Amino acid sequence: MTNQAIVDDFVAPPCKGVVRILYQDNDILLINKPSGLLSLSGKNPLNWDSVHHRLVHGQQGESPAFLQASLPHRLDFGTSGIMVVGLHRAATTHLNKQFQAGSITKRYVAMLDGWLEHEHGQISAAIAKDVHHFPRVKICHATGKTAISDYVVLQRFDKPRRTLVEYSPLTGRTHQLRIHSLLIGHPIVGCDLYHAEGSQPMAERLLLHARDIDFLHPSSGELTQGQCPSPF
């Protein structure tokens, strides 16, 4: 039995949104990533546009070129919100170690299809790659890695029923919040990969936004708290 080669034929449509700089010092940037922009440039030459490419090459009229900018973490193509960027190797290494240790706290805002039964809760379900349905992942307790997401209901909406939640992922698996939302029967509105009938066309974009990030500054060691309010 041979392993089937994974083919990624995705070509990102042009992104008119701008990478906004929320904070800058000699070591880091805090930025607001627009929805519909890759974090890193893809292997396909048509997918050169990305957060990293724009930071390294500069954005005309918006931001200069940060030649050593590096992304210690990434957001999905459709996810908007706050990211921390290392501006030199030492800063990036320091941030990478924090992400690997799980000591960086992140909070997201998501609009879910339907009304959740409980006001708060925790979703725990292991996640594994789905080699037959790339780029999707799957819930698999036998081969998957531990994935835990805490949530709190912020607001409920009617006509149609939707629930705005704050997610606090305790782990950082690929597509974790998106597949966990589907697992509990309330997919994120606008999600193209993990959806129920009618949940994707409810919005023109994925309604998932990285709102908060707390980490230790790579130079001072002080707790740094970044916030980027949700656009929805």
State the catalytic residues. Answer: 76
The token pair at 128 is 């594994």
Judge whether 72 and 96 are in contact, CB under 8 Å. yes
Neighbour count for residue 13 (Cβ, 10 Å): 7
Strands 223-227 and 208-216: antiparallel
Q: Specify which residues 121 forms β-bridges with.
A: 151
- Residues 10, 56: Cα–Cα separation, whole Å: 23
Chain-centroid distance, C-alpha 18: 17
Judge whether 82 and 211 are in contact, CB under 8 Å. yes
Whether residue 135 is preceded by a cis peptide bond, meaning omega within 30 degrees of 0, is yes
Chain-centroid distance, C-alpha 39: 9
With 0-12 / 13-18 / 19 or more C-beta atoms within 10 angstroms meaning exposed / middle / buried, residue 177 is buried
